[in-house]
Amino acid sequence: MKSKSFEKTIKIWIAVGMISITALTVFGVTFFFYFTHDLPSIEALKNYKPSTVTKIFSEEGEVIGEYCYEKREVISLDRVPSFLIQAFVAGEDARFFHHRGVDYLAVLRALYRNIFSGEIVQGGSTITQQVVKSLLLSPEKSYTRKIREAILAYKIEKYLTKEEILFLYLNQIYLGHGAYGIAMAAENYFGKTLEELNIGEAALLAGLPQAPSKYSPHQNPQQAKKRQIYILNRMVEEGFISSVESNKAIQFPYSIRSKVKPFVEKAPHFVEHIRRYLEEKYGRDTLYKNGLQVFTTVDLNYQKTAQEALESGLKEIEKRQKYSPANMPLNLDGALICLDIETSYVKALVGGRDYRKSQFNRAIHARRQTGSAFKPIIYASALDKGYTPASIIVDSPIVFEWGDQKWKPKNYEGRFSGPTTLRNALTHSINVVTVKIAQDIGVNYIRDYAKKLGISSSLYQELSMALGSSSISLFELTKAYAVFANQGRSFKPIFIKKILDRDGNLLEENLPPFYFEEFPSEEQVITPQTAFLITYLMEGVVQHGTGWRARALGRPVAAKTGTTDQFMDAWFIGYTPEVITGVWVGFDDERSLGENETGSRAASPIWVAYMSKILKDKPKKDFSLPEGVEFMKIDPKTGLIGEGRESILECFIEGTGPSQKALSPLKTTTDFFKFDFNFSTKTK
């Protein structure tokens, strides 16, 4: 009986055992399947390419702008000092090099220390688990996620080396104030590279992962110091450093960098223009995630000088117009752009006096009436239509009628000077003569001519175009003048020298025109002779006309002023053989600058202040003289060959100079006039 009872018991236990094993197996398989069936792949970790910072560099190589979703710079492990790695290991995962992804002893130790300290000073997650949480799983807090995290940590330890895991961890971890990864944290907090860090600074960084806000040296310097000491003590406990090194690091003072970005005010409108371009061409994700390196043309010395000159000039206007805090318009503003003639580089761009108050780029996006600043385009058009600098046009009243409306152009001073040369008309910005020239050569011809020079804005299809009634940006008008300075060749301003991707591959490169001697990148849009003639005429504007303030440079300068009705806009655009600079001054809401605030008075002092400084130590150069031009002495009153003391040296395209000598005394001038004295015309 006992034998049968024993056998029965054995069978029962065997059955129970088999059922239990089967149940455990089923449970295990179910458990495993439940937690692993939709785990993310870890293969992507081999090709780790996180979101990194796109950096904008000045011509000198200084960072002037950054764009990112996560502020990070990916660095290789061989750049990381050993004590920095040891600091993170000591603080976050002392048994990192020994466990297989999950450290059960560390969990118990962390629980013990946190209970006795009264706060969380140590976490139980390994570095591998933190990599999983950051790169593969959501940050939700649940037992299910912790189990999945442990499984993935185990798999990662089999798939990657410890060094590869550290590489991921140190580049991915968030360390506060927008800094992801240790390289960006070193720059953010200390303004240093990783190689420049000391042990104390390394310990401070290693104390941040636990709670970046709580241990931030910006927000809680005492807590940050306390955490730093804890990390240093842990490094001693783990044998990474000696007690002497720890004490020295604790006592050594560290300097925390200001949270204010040092480059924000250096060239803000320029950088914003670059950002818009990058986003439009390469896409928002590429700009903010792919860590482009953008090397630009802006010269920070030029840029700073431009910002200072504009601000000083605007303050002078406010002082002159006696604006008080009570009545001073808040939006008196201006813009400046400077281009290098030889390289086509944009050397400086100021889109407004205070980027913090207004991000609107008045140099590129504002379109304002140009006044007389448009006249050089009219006169260049006339030169290509058979006029010469010595052509005589009568400055006399003219009336245009259409229906019951009339338009009677007036000169700035309200006087008429009678027969005058084309040179004199441009030098003294005579409106009536300019309108007569425009009527003669046609507004369609002028429109097409302006387009050749790079003007893309719509122009009024009427004669008022000649007096600058069309609205054009400072950028457009300055680069149109640049064609004259560039000997008639097209001028395409370069903002960006080159763009590299995160791996250093070249995405885009813009070389100066002189790199393409065999296959020129510039089109000859007007002849070199016409370009020189208009330059020579605008030198006269500086020497004898409204651009007289530019004589202060003491070197060859060609320039033109511009003033619109009621002194709403003031312009000054001028160039030397090296650089061209355009200045605009006005109110955003298009009100008057004040009585007599002309281009000469309001804008040219800014131009002179800027150009004087940037050209101070540069040798003087003359404008290049092309073949096919000749100089003749002429009578400035008749435009004929002159021999008297009042004769001036005039420039002509070969074969177009006058063949007659000036009559003495002058018997008649009718043969020299392009228009009669009194002129009335009907238009549709």
CATH number of the CATH domain containing 103: 1.10.3810.10
Let me know: does 22 contact 260? Beta carbons within 8 Å.
no
What does the pLDDT read at residue 45? 77
Higher-scoring residue by pLDDT: 461, 45: 461
265 is catalytic: no
Single-letter amino acid, residue 166 = L
Higher pLDDT, 480 or 106: 480
Q: What is the end-to-end Cα distance of the chain in Å, rounded?
A: 132
CA distance 389 to 424: 9
Average the pLDDT over 430-434 and give the result. 95
Q: What is the mean pLDDT of the segment spanning 607-613? A: 98
For the chain, what is the domain count? 2
Domain of 113, in residue numbers: 73-251
Please give the backbone phi and psi of residue 353, each rounded to the nearest 5 degrees, phi first. Answer: -80, -25
**pLDDT reported for residue 684:** 32
Q: What is the mean pLDDT of the chain?
A: 87
Would you say 130 and 209 are in contact if contact means Cβ atoms under 8 Å apart? yes
Residue 327 or 246, more confident: 246
Cα of 48 vs its chain's centroid, Å: 30
Residue 611 lies in a domain: no
Q: For the residues 33-59, what does the mean pLDDT come to?
A: 75
Query: The whole model's pTM is what?
Result: 0.84
| Residue 678, domain member (yes or no) | yes
Q: Domain end: 198, 230, 251, which one? A: 251
Asked, for residue 590, whether it belongs to a domain, the answer is no
User: Quick one: pLDDT at residue 139?
Assistant: 63
| pLDDT digits 0-9 by tens, 202-235 | 999 999 998 999 999 988 999 999 999 999 999 9
97 domain residue, yes or no: yes
Confidence tier at 627 by pLDDT (50, 70, 90): very high
Whole-number pLDDT of residue 465: 92
Q: Is residue 92 part of a domain?
A: yes
Q: Would 48 be classed as within a structural domain?
A: no
Encode 181-243 in three state secondary structure.
CHHHHHHHHHCCCHHHCCHHHHHHHHCCCCCCCCCCCCCCHHHHHHHHHHHHHHHHHCCCCCH
One domain for residues 236 and 384:
no
Angle between helices 375-383 and 443-453 (to 10 degrees): 100
Residue 411 domain-assigned?
yes
- Pick from 204, 235, 251: which residue ends a domain? 251
Q: Find the catalytic residue in 58, 59, 73, 92.
A: 92
Q: Which of 549-558, 592-601, 644-653 has the lowest mean pLDDT?
A: 644-653
Q: What is the mean pLDDT of residues 591-619?
A: 95
Three-state secondary structure call for residue 658: coil
For residue 682, tell me if it sits in a domain: yes
Catalytic residue selected from 125, 216, 246, 372: 372
Structure confidence by residue, pLDDT tens digits, 439-475: 999 999 999 999 999 999 999 888 999 999 999 999 9
Query: Domain boundary at 251, 269, 296, which?
Result: 251
Residue 120, pLDDT above cutoff 70: no
Distance of CA 598 to the CA centre of its chain: 30
Active site (annotated) includes residue 342: no
